[in-house]
Amino acid sequence: SWRGKVFTTPADEKLLVQLYTDFFEAFAASTEKLDFSGLEWGDLDLEKVADALPSFCRLKELNLANNEITEIGAGFLAEEVGACPQLCKLLLTENEVVPGLEGSERLIEEWTKAKKDEFWLLMSFPTHSDYVRRKAGLD
């Protein structure tokens, strides 16, 4: 982050913010696929992604597989999937999303409400994942 940095000319900070903003808007407006698989991201990381999703008006596929996302993260996604009209494939396999809990149920509900094909809302519900093994004291 540039916050807290000292600029020789205060106008440089304003220019930098504008350049970053312009780049993000152009990138988001043209991106059809985001692959954030295997990054060991948790719910707080996903909250930032979810907040940005409405800017990705052409996004068709979001791959969040093989991370550390839980029900909380699924809830963040549930709040934004309706704001992504082109999103038709969401991969959440190999995460810690549990069936029947609020986050996964809200995500399924919002996905369906947005008239998206349930076949492409891919969530795995691991029973022997590292997370469950740690919680059960097996590791």
The pLDDT of residue 132 is 46
The pLDDT of residue 2 is 58
Query: How wide is the angle at C-alpha 121 spanned by C-alphas 80 and 133, nearest 5°?
Result: 100
Torsion of CA 129, 132, 135, 139, to 10 degrees: -40
Give me the residue spans of the domains in the chain. Answer: 33-135
* Residue-wise pLDDT tens digits, 36-75: 999 999 999 999 999 999 999 999 999 999 999 999 999 9
Q: Report which DSSP code applies to 3.
A: T
Contact 32, 3 (CB under 8 A): no
What integer is the mean pLDDT of 7-15?
77
Query: Which CATH architecture does the domain made up of 33-135 adopt?
Result: Alpha-Beta Horseshoe (3.80)
Task: List the single range of 7-11, 62-66, 97-101 with lowest mean pLDDT.
Answer: 7-11
| Encoded tokens for 37 | 């698989």
* Residue-wise pLDDT tens digits, 100-109: 889 999 999 9
* pLDDT class of 23 with cuts at 50, 70, 90: very high
Distance between CA 125 and CA 78 in Å, rounded?
Answer: 17
